[in-house]
Every structure is written in structure tokens, then in C-alpha cells.
A and B are shown apart, each in its own frame.
Chain A
Amino acid sequence: MTWSFGILALLTIIGAVAAMSPRNLVHCALSLALAFAGLAALYLRLGAQFAGFAQVLVYIGAVAILIVFAILLTRGTELPGQSVFSRTWAIGLGIAVVVFGVLSGMILSSPAAAHESAITEAPQATVRQIGDQLMSKYILPLEVTGLLLTAALIGAGIIAMHERGSRLAE
């Protein structure tokens, strides 16, 4: 069954590379949504159904749409003569290549990689079990996350609000 992993991984990587390559900004945001969809399919393949559906709902349904809105609200300042990459792009690319080299070296030489994979059955993580754990063992992170989301909602609204007597009113 590794062909399904290969197709999903290829889809995710193509979406990620297209999200970072120089093109129309809206294309970048939609390629990001494609990468998120590939990741959600990979979560489903790993047996984490709740995480897969949460990924679709939150990342594709909220974060990607939010990014598209922000792109549409901040357009019209790109001069066509300027490059879309920063002046120091080679250093950034080099750092990313070094990071990937170090990580893959560690992964391939670790004892976890030398294990032959016993085909374990997929673990059961029903929504009932997750709900039980969230309400009993992880109740504190749940409440703190609720508080964080409230603060983020109020804060984002206040930051992006039109100020009174702002420059745009002139």
C-alpha cells in the first residue's frame, strides 16, 4: 500500500513548493490549501480521523481562506520590476538545505529506522475516547486554549479595526 503514501506525499510536496514559488499570490494561497488537503489525507491514512477532519475544517476552511482575504486586502503595491525574493535569498536557501540534511541524516541513522516494521494494527482513537481525555486529563490545556482563542479573537479585531480619524478617511 505504499503507492497511496507516495501519491499523497507527492501531492503535499508539490503544494508546498508551489506555495512558496514566485507567482500570483492567490495561487500561492490555493496551493497551500492543496498541501493542507494532502496532509489531512495522510492523517486519515495514519488512522487519526479526528485530526484529519480538524485539519480540513480549521486549516483549509479557516486559515487558508483568511490568507486569501489578507492577500486581497493588501494588494496593489508590487512593482513588476522588483524581484519577489529578498536580497539575501541564497543564505536562506542554504540554511534550509542544511537543516534538511541534518534532519534526514538523523532520521536515517536513528535506531527507530533500523527497526523492521512490524505491521501493527491501527490504534483506536474514537471521538469518545478523545472527548473523555479532553474532559478529564487535559482539561487545563482545553480551558487555556479557550482563553487563548478568545484573546486572539478580540486582539485581532482590535488590531485590524479602522482607527478613528485614520488616514484612510482623508
Chain B
Amino acid sequence: MNPLSAYLLLSALLFAIGLAGALTRRNAILVLIGIELMLNSANLNFIAFWRYGPNPELPIGIVFVIFSIGVAAAEAAVGLALIISIYRHYQTTNVDQIDSMKG
């Protein structure tokens, strides 16, 4: 198993942990934490392929990760603002109880 596979397996494991947390936890903020973990695992994939890939003199891997980090930060800010606003109206952050639009 070469180093690239080791990094890819670590990234897959982080993705699975983030996915499990986002699907099973009740609190909306923990769902967001799971999503951030998934984004980070994708970033690790990019850097690993940039390092061990065929064309390492182009910094496209790092540039993509820079943009991904920026977009993820913006998304976390907006998501947490939404959670705070929902808490203000429903007095709870339990995703099972925020179901007034349920059919």
C-alpha cells in the first residue's frame, strides 16, 4: 500500500465518520460539524492527489483547496446563522422537532 492509498483511506474514513454523525445526531449544530468533516476529507483528497499525482508542478490542487476552505467558511457562517434564527423561533435545536413543513 503506497502513501497515496494511505491518505485516500484516511480521507474515506473521515468522510464516513462525518456522514455517520450528520445522519444520526439530533442537534442541528452537530449535523453541521459532520458536514465540515466531510468537506475536510475532500480537501485532504485533493492535496494527496496533488502531491503524488502526475503533474505536481501545477499548484491546481492547492488552489482548489484554498477556494474550498473559503467557501466552507462562508457556508458554516450562513448555516450557523440559520440555526440561531431557528432556535429563536422554535426554542429548540432538535432536528426531529423542527417539522412544521412536514407533509
Contacts and interface: CB of A to CB of B under 8 A. Distances in A.
Contact of A19 (B21, B65, B72): B21
Contacts of B18: 16, 20
A108 B3 CA distance: 12
Nearest to B77: A156
Contacts of B74: 148-149, 152-153
B34, B66, B85 — which one has the most chain A CB atoms within 10 A of its CB?
B66
Interface residues of A, number: 87
A71 B84 contact: no
Size band of the B side of the interface? 35 or more
A107 B9 contact: yes
B5 to A, nearest CB: 4
Contacts of A74: 29, 83-84, 87, 93
B24 interface: yes
B23 A96 contact: yes
A133 B20 contact: no
Contact of B5 (A19, A112, A168): A112
B99 to A, nearest CB: 12
B12 A104 contact: yes
A150 to B, nearest CB: 9
15 contacts: A5-B3, A25-B29, A35-B37, A42-B47, A46-B7, A46-B47, A63-B76, A66-B77, A74-B83, A77-B94, A93-B20, A107-B12, A160-B81, A160-B85, A167-B88
Interface of B: 1-10, 12-27, 29-30, 32-34, 36-37, 40, 43-44, 47-48, 50-52, 56-57, 59-63, 65-67, 69-78, 80-85, 87-89, 91-96
